[in-house]
């Protein structure tokens, strides 16, 4: 993510939010602080949430029904806001094999290209 | 338990080699074992190969921690979680979904026990071979783990994120929802 996507886009018009969620057995606040090293981009804001509640809030935006949203990458153009529930992204990619469309499996170059298109 | 990308890749590597480890408890348990050191064990696989498990352990602040390698399987510098349980030592290789439970020998230089992975169990003996040798990257990650300023805690409905998301409405916004392990 850092090398293939974020490092290729220098614009300050890109805001990045990384939410670390407790999905795996070893996920905790300490692990989230370590994981920030994986996305060192200066524009990134890192968050930790100790429940799956936020992932569940994002379920409708992605059409997920069986598990919280995680391992997903959501792109929002300027203008839209988040009121009661998170809005549906303009574009997304994921690594949830078999649970979201295969054509949206994470492809760093494609994700970066889409972001660059929105920045133009 | 759900699997992250790292878990999946390591599980595949281990499964492909039909690896899993185990052991029998030997020796006298120490009340407060000194786990610090560079530990190695040969892991006898069903296919006849014997890759080496390398575990570096030391005190990290107030707790024990470490990292492990199985270089023959392409596994290098992954974290080890350490627990002391009634004289036994449990090492959890979380990224491989494997764990070792064993006991310290009387001289403190061996840890014998059972390495478990899935339904397989293999007896192994970890032998101390000098001081812990952590990778620079491991030390950087440990330093990050101790820095509470690196993450902001979210309330249940993510209100803090919602406010930031809305205040950045003039920007392209990229939201990543990820598991940290």
Q: What is the ipTM for the molecules in this complex? A: 0.97
List of chain B residues whose C-beta atoms are within 8 Å of the C-beta of residue A67:
2
Q: What pLDDT was estimated at residue B85?
A: 85
Q: Closest Cα to residue B76, out of B101, B59, B44, B51?
A: B51
Portion 62-81 of B in contact with A at CB < 8 A = 81
- CA–CA min distance B137, chain A (Å): 10
pTM above 0.90, yes or no: no
Instruction: Give the tokens for residue A84.
Output: 């009661």
- Cβ partners under 8 Å of residue B60, min gap 6: B142
Tell me, yes or no, if B166 comes closer than 8 A to chain A by beta carbon. Answer: yes
Residue B24 lies in a domain: no
Percent of chain A with pLDDT over 90: 88
pLDDT in tens, A40-93: 999 999 999 999 999 999 999 999 988 999 999 999 999 999 999 999 999 999
Residue A72 lies in a domain: yes
Residue A43 lies in a domain: yes
Does residue A63 contact residue A94 with C-beta atoms inside 8 Å?
no
Residue A1 lies in a domain: no
CATH of the domain at B110: 2.40.128.120
Q: What pLDDT was estimated at residue B47?
A: 79
Full domain range(s) for residue B91? 37-136
Record: contact A95-B5, CB cut-off 8 A:
yes
Tell me, yes or no, if B34 comes closer than 8 A to chain A by beta carbon. Answer: no
Q: What pLDDT was estimated at residue A1?
A: 85
What mean pLDDT is reported for chain A? 94
Residue B150 lies in a domain: no
Residue A71 lies in a domain: yes
Full domain range(s) for residue A76? 6-119
Q: What pLDDT was estimated at residue B8?
A: 47
Q: B158: how many CB neighbours lie within 10 A of its CB?
A: 22
* DSSP character string of chain B: ----HHHHHHHHHHHHTT--------SPPPSS----EEEEEE---TTS--PEEEEEEEEETTEEEEEEEEGGGTEEEEEEEEEEETTEEEEEEGGGTEEEEEEE-TTSSEEEEEEEETTEEEEEEEEE-SS----HHHHHHHHHHT-GGG-EEPPTT-HHHHHHHHHTTTSEEEEEEE---
Q: What pLDDT was estimated at residue B31?
A: 54
Residue B69 lies in a domain: yes
Q: Closest residue of A to B95, CA-based?
A: A26
Instruction: Give the tokens for residue B66.
Output: 């470490």
Residue A57 lies in a domain: yes
Record: contact B174-A16, CB cut-off 8 A:
yes
The number of folded domains in chain B is 1
Residue B125 lies in a domain: yes
Query: Mean pLDDT, 10 residues at a time, over chain B (181 residues)?
Result: 48 40 33 85 89 93 87 89 89 83 92 91 95 90 90 95 97 96 81
Residue B30 lies in a domain: no
List of chain B residues whose C-beta atoms are within 8 Å of the C-beta of residue A13:
170-172
Q: To probe the interface with A, which of B11, B66, B169, B175 has the most A CB atoms within 10 Å? A: B175
The number of folded domains in chain A is 1
Q: What pLDDT was estimated at residue B2?
A: 57
């Amino acid at each position: 993510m850092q090398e293939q996507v974020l490092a290729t886009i220098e614009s300050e018009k890109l805001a990045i939010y990384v939410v670390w969620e407790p999905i795996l057995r070893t996920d905790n606040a300490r692990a989230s602080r370590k994981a920030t090293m994986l996305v060192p981009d200066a524009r990134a804001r890192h968050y930790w949430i100790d429940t799956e509640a936020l992932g569940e809030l994002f379920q409708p935006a992605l059409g997920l029904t069986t598990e919280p949203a995680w391992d997903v990458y959501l792109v929002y153009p300027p203008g839209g806001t988040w009121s009661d529930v998170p809005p549906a992204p303009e574009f997304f990619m994921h690594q949830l094999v078999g649970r979201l469309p295969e054509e949206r499996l994470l492809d760093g170059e494609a994700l970066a290209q889409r972001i660059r298109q929105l920045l133009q | 338990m759900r699997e992250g990308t790292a878990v999946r890749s390591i599980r595949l590597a281990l499964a492909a080699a039909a690896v899993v480890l185990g052991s029998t408890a030997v020796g006298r348990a120490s009340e407060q074992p000194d786990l610090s050191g560079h530990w190695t064990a040969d892991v006898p696989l069903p296919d006849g190969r014997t890759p080496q498990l390398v575990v570096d352990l030391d005190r990290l602040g107030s707790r024990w921690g470490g990292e492990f390698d199985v270089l023959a399987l392409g596994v290098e510098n992954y974290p080890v979680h350490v627990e002391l349980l009634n004289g036994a030592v449990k090492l959890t290789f979380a990224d491989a979904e494997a764990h070792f439970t064993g006991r310290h020998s009387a001289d403190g230089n061996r840890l014998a026990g059972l390495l478990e992975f899935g339904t397989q169990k293999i007896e192994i003996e970890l032998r101390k071979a000098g001081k812990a040798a952590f990778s620079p990257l491991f030390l950087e990650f440990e330093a990050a783990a101790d820095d509470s300023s690196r993450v902001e805690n979210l309330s249940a409905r993510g209100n803090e994120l919602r406010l930031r998301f809305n205040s950045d409405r003039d920007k392209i916004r990229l939201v990543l929802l990820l598991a940290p392990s």
